[in-house]
Amino acid sequence: MVFNGNDLIELGYRSAKWFKEAIAHINENNLDEKQITEYLEQFKQPDLIPLHENPKDFIINIKAEHESENDNVEKVINTMKVLMKTPTLEKGAIMPDACPTGPEGQIPVGGVVVAKNAIHPGFHSADICCSVMLTDFGKADPKEVLDAAHSITHFGYGGRDRGSQMPMSQELMDAFRENDFLNDEKLISIARSHMGTQGDGNHFLFVGTSKNTGNTMLVTHHGSRAPGAALYDKGMKVANRFRQEISPETLRENAWIPYETEEGKSYWEALQLIRTWTKENHTSIHDAVLNKMEIEKQDRYWNEHNFVFKDGDLFYHAKGATPLDDKFLPDITGPRLIPLNMSEPVLIVQGKTNERNLGFAPHGAGRNFSRTQHKKSLAHKTIEEVFAEETKGLDIRFFTNEIDISELPTAYKSAKNVRAQIEEYGLCEVLDEVMPYGCIMAGDVQKNAPWKKKKKFRKA
């Protein structure tokens, strides 16, 4: 009789790529039952890891302060209940700025989860190491700092033109080439062209003055751009190969790479290199502004709020949450930063791990509604009217010269409520505030996108 895949399944094996090779070998060599058993030992599969029967406990540091927030808070809690059934997870928390990011079971923005010996690429998402950097410009004129920054920074799709690229360090390029996930010349080329860029969406360059000292501060907010997105894509593919083999019940977006594997170690190293690239990216922009103004920096600090942090065999995944505990940051040089919206101060905070925060604080103000919903709610006004009302007294600029009302203050949760809940739940302590002067954001990158112009040209 010809041995086939159904026979392997009856023997207790799960469908796998090696089936074809094994079936051919068994039939070509006419193996008997004992020989088949001995031969198949090399393909022994691990026991499947089931979901937790009940969600692991998570701490809720959020509540609806207004009727409009009820739906958001309910969705955040419900998605956490599904998420916390993921087999690797041991505990979690949600922050006052939390909002859902996708289907039920996907980690929300403002979510922190702790996994044992596992890295979940879906928990940091494509915007790996989204982070904020502050440089103290002393008594420099805020307008002059914003003008200088505007002439230097770069928002929108893609990287810089070859003639205006900011250099990526040779040491970092060499490190990329030594890592299995990052040793990709196309990825390295993208990393070089994206150095000194900030992307779009909620990323910004903010200028304000310290409430404590009156000094002018420059704050940038962006992540690892296309290099990070490329690493995320590779990580998700590897994680899902493991998921299919060891825990097919786990949701695809919650797949993980076991840390103790070769792939796990390599992915962890790749995350650290992408972190280094992102910090270098922020630094390039800040230093270029200082150099243009011929100013020496007074102080500087930086922290990510979208990353994975290791403590022994526990991996803290923060999807939009600010790490407070020094153990999470190997290069800590100062307090942490929590931006709210363009019309509100950037909070400078510190804090310690406690029973409610797991060592984290909020990362911003979050959203109650999607960008599309927010735009619909303002459809009775012109874009110019909305802009004038919400940016009064501020120097707000959009790099594309196209206003994006989905990034104006009312698009976000009440900063007042977020701050009140930070205090109520004892999440961290505010040390200083950077009072807003102005900021630059990408603007509506879709309005005059190159591919839209091409479409119009074709129709003509």
Q: Report the C-alpha gap between 110 and 355 in whole angstroms.
A: 17
**CA-to-CA separations, 249 to 112, 117, 123, in angstroms, rounded:** 22, 19, 17
Which residue ranges are tagged as binding site? 203, 221, 339-342, 363-366
CA angle centred on 182, ends 180 and 187, rounded to 5°: 145
Q: What is the dihedral of CA 172, 177, 183, 186, to 10 degrees?
A: 70
Contact between 274 and 231 under an 8 Å Cβ cutoff? The reply is yes
The token pair that represents 447 in the structure block:
């309005």
Residue that has been written with the tokens 């800040």 in this structure: 286
Contact between 196 and 284 under an 8 Å Cβ cutoff? The reply is yes
Contact between 148 and 355 under an 8 Å Cβ cutoff? The reply is no
Q: Report the C-alpha gap between 295 and 451 in whole angstroms.
A: 40
CA angle centred on 68, ends 62 and 71, rounded to 5°: 65
Which residue ranges are tagged as binding site for Mn(2+)? 203, 221
Contact between 323 and 303 under an 8 Å Cβ cutoff? The reply is yes
**Catalytic residue (one of 154, 282, 363, 374):** 363
**Exposed, middle or buried by CB within 10 Å (0-12, 13-18, 19+), for 322?**
buried
Which residue ranges are tagged as binding site for GMP? 339-342, 363-366
Contacts of 423 (CB under 8 A, 6+ apart): none
120 alpha carbon, distance to own chain's centre:
12
Residue type, 222: H
The enclosing H or E element of 259 equals none
363 is catalytic: yes
Q: Report the C-alpha gap between 402 and 460 in whole angstroms.
A: 24
The token pair that represents 144 in the structure block:
């002059």
Among 108, 358, 364, smallest CA distance to 253 is for 108
Helix, strand, coil % (nearest 5) of the chain?
A: 40, 20, 40
Other beta carbons less than 10 A from residue 265's beta carbon: 15
**DSSP letters for 70-132:** HHHHHHHHHHHHHHTTSTTEEEEEEEEEEE--SSTTSPPEEEEEEEESEE-HHHH-SSTTEEE
Q: Report the C-alpha gap between 341 and 352 in whole angstroms.
A: 25
Catalytic positions are 363
